Amino acid sequence: MLSGNNSQEGIEQVREQELLLIASTGDREAFATLYTAYFPRLYRYVYFTMRSRADAEEIIQDIFLKVWERKETLAAIRSFEDYLFIMVRHRLFDQAKQQATRQRAELYSSDAQPEAGNSVEGEVIYKEYHKAALEAITRLPKRRQLIFFMRTQQSMSLNEIAAAVRISRSAVKKHLYASIHFIKQQLHME
């Protein structure tokens, strides 16, 4: 049984480290205690940014799911609160970038292609470009594919990828740069 008392303000450092260590072994009770302690503050932060209860809850659920999927690394975390807020900030930043990209694409689509016939052509070109990008990604070596997808699809930080793949942060950066360079090169060739 775990000892101590949870508070709205979080968990004392010693108790937090104990819970992280226990949760890293797959203990759901310890993880649930961490979740319960940090959910309210994360929710307030995300809700303030998103202004949507459903979006805030979904983002926090996704963050905790990612944490659980990488539970083996929990014991090495010095400040779980900092770790969570960094993940949330990255997620919110990525969402803002995606939304801005969508808005630019919609603006470009409506400005550059006012006629119905041109929007179909633009959609076909986009689909071809997307298909070519996916094909280029499949041509990457397996490790580079994995690192590329961890960064772009799972929004993992360089440090998180380095820990998961068990290579240095600088090696992760080199793999990412090489992947991006290769993909761009393939897209310009086709």
Domains of the chain as residue ranges with CATH: 1-112 (1.10.1740.10), 115-190 (1.10.10.10)
pLDDT at 59: 93
**Beta-bridge partner residues of 7:** 10
What average pLDDT score do residues 102-128 get?
63
Q: Which residue has the higher pLDDT, 72 or 49?
A: 72
pLDDT at 100: 75
pLDDT at 22: 96
pLDDT tens figures, 58-105: 999 999 999 999 999 999 999 999 999 999 999 988 888 777 777 777
Q: What is the pTM of this model?
A: 0.52
Q: Which residues contact 79 (CB under 8 A, 6 or more apart)?
A: 16
Measuring CA to CA, how many Å separate 29 from each of 36, 40, 109? 10, 18, 50
- Burial call 57-89: b when 16+ CB within 10 Å, e when fewer: eebbeebbeebeeebebbeebeebbebbbebbe
